[in-house]
Amino acid sequence: MVTVVPPAVHWFYAEKRPSAGAVAEQLRQSLWFVRLQEAWVSPVDPCQKDPPFRYQGYWRGHVFEIAFEPRRYVILRMAQDLPRVVEALQRSLGAAPAFAYGDEEGRTVYEWRWGDREERWQQLQGIPRYQRLRRLSSP
């Protein structure tokens, strides 16, 4: 898979972090480019300067949340499984999610990980509030 924009300016891979609003715009355009045109994302806290960064998203009447630490992980949370949103993030990131599970609030969660997959896999297995834990891709 190929990322949508060069890593130097990608909402997740870039070294320098623009404002939360600018990242939201990059993320929106990235989702639109991979054919999730009806998606809209906004920062949960527009003044936040330190990771993890959190964005609230909307797509066809469904709400989702994206939390991420640049170049380390992305976590997508949704009240119900939205395969089109998962696929759009997968295409934007150029990588498949590593894990999926249900959280304590009944949401469906997907995680993309770089560098610490095995450690995170072990950690997730020891958290009883996470249900239906699945490994989706190998390191």
43 inside domain: yes
CA angle 3, 8, 19 (to 5 degrees): 105
Considering the domain boundaries, does residue 120 fall inside one?
yes
Domain span at residue 45 reads 7-135
How many domains are there within the chain? 1
Q: Give the pLDDT mean for 88-117.
A: 95
User: Is residue 1, in this structure, part of any structural domain at all?
Assistant: no
| pLDDT score at 1 | 46
The predicted model scores a pTM of 0.91
Q: Give the residue with greater pLDDT, 138 vs 81.
A: 81
Residue 19 domain flag: yes
Answer yes or no: is 58 within a domain.
yes
Residue 44 within a domain: yes
Q: What is the mean pLDDT of residues 92-96?
A: 93
Q: Mean pLDDT in the chain? A: 90
**What count of other Cβ atoms lies within 10 Å of the Cβ of residue 114?**
17
pLDDT, tens digit (0-9, with 9 covering 90-100), for 39-75: 999 999 988 888 899 999 999 999 999 999 999 999 9
State residue 39's pLDDT score: 95
Q: Per-residue pLDDT averaged across 34-42, rounded?
A: 93
| Rounded distance between C-alpha atoms, residue 77 and residue 79, angstroms | 7
Residue 2 lies in a domain: no
Q: Are 131 and 138 in contact (CB under 8 A)?
A: no
Q: Please give the C-alpha separations between residue 62 and each of 56, 80, 109, in angstroms, as whole numbers.
A: 11, 8, 14
Asked if residue 33 is part of any domain, the answer here is yes
- pLDDT for the residue numbered 9: 67
**Confidence at 22, pLDDT banded by 50, 70, 90:** confident
pLDDT at 2: 45
